[in-house]
Amino acid sequence: MRRYAPGPTGLSYSFGPGPITPAVKWLIIANVAMFVATLVYRDIITFLGLIPQLVFEGLWVWQPATYLFLHGGAFHILFNMLGIWMFGVELERRWGTTFFLKYYAVTGIGAGLTVLFVSLLPLAATAGTYQAVTIGASGALYGLLMAFAIYFPDRPILMFLLFPIPAKYFVMIIGAIAFLSAPGSGVSQAAHLGGLLFGYLYLRGGRGGLSAEIKYRYLKWKMNRLRRKFDVYSGGRSDWDRHVH
C-alpha cells in the first residue's frame, strides 16, 4: 500500500502507514517471540495450534485463540506481520488501541471458529481439516483488510505487489480467491473467509454499524416524541403565551 501526500512539487510517495502504534507493535513482538519459541521447541505448535479434534474432545479449548500467534516459516510470519503493520496502524489510530485489540481478537477467534465449523462439514474436501493443524495470524489480518476496505474503500492497495486497485475491490478479489481455492488447498482458506465474515458482521452490527444506526434512530425518534409531548421546539416559538416547565 502506498500513501499519497502533497509535496512542494506535487505528489510524494511513501511506503506504509507511518510510525507504528502500540497495539500493532506488541502484536508483532508477541508473534515474533512465539515464532522463535517454536524454532526451539516445535511441539508448541501441537499444543497451541488449532486442531479441531482436540478442541471438540475438550482437551485444549484455548486453541481458537492461541493459534493466531504461531507461524510455520519465515515468509509466513513476514507477510502476516507486514500486513498487520500496513493496515493495522491506520485502523488503530482511527479506533484507539482498546477497540482495535477487541476487533483483532473477534476476527482472529472468529476465523478459528470458522475452521472448527468447516471441520464438521460432511464433505470429502473438508474431511482432513478435523485433524489438521491451523496456525497463523492471517484470519485476523483478513479481518483488518475488511475493516480497511469499509473505512477506506477507494484507497489503493498493490495487488500482488504489482498494480494498485481500490481497497474495496482488493478485498472482493482476495475473498473470491479464498473461496474458490478452498477445496484441496494447503492453506486454511476457511480462516481467511472467517476473518472477512466476522470483520464485516462486527463492524456492520457493532460500533458504527447496524446496531449503532438503530440506536441512533431510536433515540432520535424518542427525542422528537418528547419534544412534541412537552411542546419543545429548537429555535424558539412565535407563541410566547405558552411555556414549558
DSSP bridge pairs for 15: 2
Q: Is 192 a catalytic residue?
A: yes
**CB 191: neighbour CB atoms within 10 A?**
30
Catalytic residue among 71, 119, 138, 188: 138
Q: How far apart are CA 95 and CA 150, in angstroms?
A: 13
Q: How far apart are CA 198 and CA 110, in angstroms?
A: 6
For residue 8, the one-letter residue type is P
100 in Cβ contact with 92 (< 8 Å): yes
Q: How far apart are CA 14 and CA 18, in angstroms?
A: 9
Q: How far apart are CA 109 and CA 63, in angstroms?
A: 9
Catalytic residue among 71, 119, 188, 192: 192
112 backbone dihedrals φ, ψ, rounded to 5°: -65, -40
Q: How far apart are CA 90 and CA 23, in angstroms?
A: 11
Q: Is 138 a catalytic residue?
A: yes
72 in Cβ contact with 38 (< 8 Å): no
35 in Cβ contact with 110 (< 8 Å): no
| Residues recorded for the chain | 245
Residues assigned a catalytic role: 138, 192
